[in-house]
Amino acid sequence: MTERVDTLINNSLIVTMNKSRDVIPRGYVAIRDGKIVDVGSGDGTLKYLADEVVRVKRGVVVPGFICVHTHLYGILLTGSPWFSHIEPPSDFQQNLQRIWWALDENLTYEDIYISALLGTIMLARTGTTFFKDLLDAPNAIHKSLDFIEKAANEVGLKGFAGFSVTQRRSIQEGYDGLRENERFVKATWGNPHTKVKGIFTVHASFTVTDDILVKTKELADKYGTIYALHVEEGLIDVYHSIERYGKRPVERMESIGFLSPKLVAVHVVQAIDDELRLLKKHDVKVAHNPMSNMINGVGVPPVPKMLSMGLTVGLGNDGYIMDVFDNMRSAYLIHKVALKDPRVTDPVKIVEMATIDAAKVLGIDSRVGSIEIGKDADITVISPEFVHTPLDERTIYGHLVNTFTGSDVWGVLVDGDWIVKDRKLVKVDIEKVMDYAHKVVNKLWDRMISMEPKYKVEYLKP
């Protein structure tokens, strides 16, 4: 008797990312009630009767890609006239002071919502199904994360969201951000009607006190969530920690009990070997953002060394370029250049960093990150219009990293529901979104240009 399923993706090249990294040259994925119920070789219609059978030309089926770190609001500055209004920053600290903190302080709830809507649309259209977002909006803290939740739910994407706790302007500001994180965690975990869950996030060690770090971990432990912060993205983090505490940032964090397997350390560009050993000792996870590191000019993190030590590294975009294929390609290339060694990194590991390893970083690998029976049906279907060399089980990883782009994504399923199909968004009208978004962003840019540029470097007060 033929078994019934909701959706059958048939006659496709399937990249499972399971433990043995099986690639099925011609097979099927069967989906029912939002879960993967079968993965196999051959013609799935011989085994299943489906409400919908999907066959696409040159179809490649991969797990939905996972972004381990983003700032959705970062896309609001794409093409902004603000860059011509300020003196060009010459280092990372000036980038923060003149660009990002200026943006942060001007964000309204409407800006937060539209940036999350635009960002999740861009992620979905290019094959990402799950994201982790950090929001910095010091003048719109209370209930700010609700607007990210609303936007992502409208698009249909799953994710984690946290307020980026900082005390760069005042000590109290940090506790206000911590309360927002706890409020959102309590409101979303256990709520079956939202795809976005709260987590605890901190800006960076150089903008918070030890008490904030300790309380963040205590709350993450209390509610059973992951927690995250930027670690040694720029040298300011290192210099501040040594000057203030006599320790490098990772050493400081270990001394107060902040390190754990549920910590996501973002960037880790400037870390020395001793610090990497501490991260490995506590099984801390790492979020690698190669394109952001390049545009900010902060350097290249020692990712190949991290991997050789057994650290788990996932791929993020830090709010810069949302297309996962661009980020995979950059991660593949940047370490070859930095180490002057073309043997460094391989396509399989890069795809792992965007799928199953990314899921491990966020603690969700039991649910997503691979195409296996029982996992959520978070799936990306790729159908390139042109491939210049054979596309098969021998070449697929090379094509994923070196050939494909976000425009090759034909469809995206989240919990078995289409959010992108036939290269079009299913749940939102992109023309209406753009009309609305451009008006909102122009108002934001006008506010920024009317403010006085800030050039004074502010450090956390003792």
Residue range 102-148, pLDDT digits in tens: 999 999 999 999 999 999 999 999 999 999 999 999 999 999 999 99
Q: State the pLDDT at residue 40.
A: 97
The residue-averaged pLDDT of 7-21 equals 98
Average pLDDT over residues 409-416: 98
Sole residue written with tokens 């987590």: 199
Cα–Cα distance, 144 to 198 (Å, whole number):
12
pLDDT tens, position by position, 151-162: 999 999 999 999
Q: What is the pLDDT of residues 438-449, one digit of tens each?
A: 999 999 999 999
- Lowest average pLDDT, out of 16-25, 91-100, 244-253, goes to 91-100
pLDDT at 82: 87
CA angle, corner 161, sides to 222 and 233, nearest 5? 95
pLDDT band at 1 (very low <50, low <70, confident <90, very high): low
| CATH class as words, domain 65-361 | alpha beta
Closest CA to 335 of 306, 285, 300: 300
Angstrom CA distances, 4 to 33, 37, 48, 51, 401, stand at 11, 11, 6, 8, 35
CA 31, CA 103: separation in Å to the nearest integer? 43
Is residue 222 scored above 50 in pLDDT? yes
Which of helix, strand or coil describes residue 52? Answer: strand
pTM above 0.85, yes or no: yes
Tell me, what's the pLDDT at 451? 81
Residue 310: how many other CB atoms lie within 10 Å:
8
What mean pLDDT value characterizes the chain? 96
Query: Does position 216 have pLDDT exceeding 60, yes or no?
Result: yes
Q: What is the DSSP letter of 406?
A: G
State how far the Cα of 15 lies from the Cα of 358, in Å rounded to an integer: 16
Q: What is the pLDDT of residues 238-287, one digit of tens each?
A: 999 999 999 999 999 999 999 999 999 999 999 999 999 999 999 999 99
Average pLDDT over residues 444-459: 73
Query: What pLDDT sits at residue 2?
Result: 82
Asked if residue 291 lies in contact with residue 322, where contact means CB atoms within 8 angstroms, the answer is no
Residue 12 has pLDDT above 70, yes or no: yes
CA trace torsion 432, 433, 435, 436 (10° rounding) = 120
Could you tell me where the DSSP H helices lie in 159-263?
A: 171-188, 210-223, 235-245, 249-255
Give the relative orientation of helices 430-450 and 109-125 as an angle to the nearest 10 degrees: 130
User: How large is the average pLDDT for residues 25-34?
Assistant: 98
In 3D space, the residue among 4, 22, 25, 35 whose CA is nearest the CA of residue 379 turns out to be: 35
CA angle 129/131/135 to nearest 5° reads: 145
Q: Is there a shared CATH topology between the 3-64+370-425 domain and the 65-361 domain? A: no
Task: Give the pLDDT score at 462.
Answer: 39
Rg (CA), the chain: 22
Fold of 3-64+370-425: Urease, subunit C; domain 1 (2.30.40)
Cβ atoms 5, 413 nearer than 8 A: no
Q: Are 379 and 64 in contact (CB under 8 A)?
A: yes
pLDDT on residue 455: 47
Taking alpha carbons only, the member of 163, 160, 250 closest to residue 203 is 163
Residue 457 clears pLDDT 50, i.e. is over it: no
Q: Is a pLDDT exceeding 60 seen at residue 307?
A: yes
Residues constituting the chain:
462
For helices 145-155 and 109-125, the axis angle rounded to 10 degrees is 30
Domain coordinates in residue numbering, the chain: 3-64+370-425, 65-361
Give the mean model confidence (pLDDT) for residues 442-458: 77
pLDDT at 211 over 90: yes
* Rounded Cα gap, residues 119 and 7, in angstroms: 27
pLDDT for 73 equals 97
